[in-house]
Amino acid sequence: MTPPLADLLATARVVALPMNTRFRGVDVREALLFEGPQGWAEFSPFVEYPDAEAATWLAAAINFAWHEQPRALRERIPVNATVPAVEAARVPEVLARFDGCRTAKVKVAERGQALADDIARVRAVRAQVGPEGRIRVDANAGWNVDEAEHAIHALAEFDLEYAEQPCASVDELAELRRRVKHMGIPIAADESIRKADDPLAVARAGAADLVVIKAQPLGGIRRALDIVAQAGLPAVVSSALDTAVGLSQGAALAASLPSLEFDCGLGTASLFTDDVADARPVGGSVSAARVIPDAGALARLEAPAERRDWWLARLERCHALLDARG
């Protein structure tokens, strides 16, 4: 049952977190936090997402705040560093914020940039992490099949762990995977899981070697676990540029996975200059314990009144959608 809207509004806080570097077109990350019987949760679909999609994120937040979660199988979660589409000279500065991380996810296929920029950035990351470090690239569906094939060939010299969502559609991923299979570079699906009407289509089509899962977009921890179980593929738990509260839900998901073969994308607190709690990696991992936001940080990071009103109106609309869905 969806709790009454008044119960969510009673503790709702809207925060705006400044970022060290522009990421996914975002300079300030906004989120709505509220507290339920089980603790704090986060509702933070990106502002451009329609209400029908955002309502699934709200369902995940309500579930995390109101219901007991699956049993944790581990206390700490190994995480990767995240390198935005910065110029190569800034790579050491970015990686320095991710204490002890030996895996780096590098953003590529940024609009307005060229493959040469991606190559320079990945080369700089390899120079920093050394031959034993792991590098994965994330194109956020920015290439077509031919572009992706060409880019993966060009980046192969840097010993990629995998390429995440190089193309947009399941058919494109399947074709690309067929073309690059001889290179031994796995293909990971992200948007094809979290934004799909059928998140299992990727697995059925043989379009990916692993899946990237996120608790909020998939409707909560239990649904994400079910998707992984049905897909039958290794999973990487990642964040959607969450605050420390949202990262806590991601860590709880990672902690409850039966198998955790890859470092998770839950170290993104290091991309912010300030947060509601300290969730930055220490020694290459983060705690799976539930986060309680700091009262002073909630006040310091409070969003302007007009943005608070925007988020509360969105919360009300999405809550009504969940009620209508039953």
Instruction: Spell out the alpha helix ranges (H) of the chain.
Output: 5-9, 51-66, 91-95, 115-129, 145-155, 170-180, 191-194, 201-204, 221-231, 244-256, 295-300, 305-325
> Using the 8-state DSSP alphabet, how is residue 140 labeled?
T
Query: Which residues form the catalytic set?
Result: 107, 214
275 labeled binding residue: no
138 labeled binding residue: yes
Q: Cβ(259)–Cβ(79) under 8 Å?
A: no
Helix (H, G, I), strand (E, B) or coil at 264: strand
Q: Cβ(59)–Cβ(219) under 8 Å?
A: yes
Q: Cβ(32)–Cβ(43) under 8 Å?
A: yes
> Using the 8-state DSSP alphabet, how is residue 146 labeled?
H
Amino acid in position 43: F
Work out the angle at residue 255's Cα, subtended by the Cα atoms of residues 260 and 190, and round it to the nearest 5 degrees: 60
Nearest CA to 150 out of 191, 112, 109 is that of 109
Could you give the CA distance from residue 243 to residue 254 in angstroms, rounded to a whole number? 17
The residues, any chain, with a CB within 8 Å of residue 227's CB and separated by 6 or more, are: 193, 199, 200, 211, 213, 218
191 labeled binding residue: no
> Using the 8-state DSSP alphabet, how is residue 2 labeled?
P
Query: Which residues does the annotation place in the binding site for Mg(2+)?
Result: 138, 164, 190
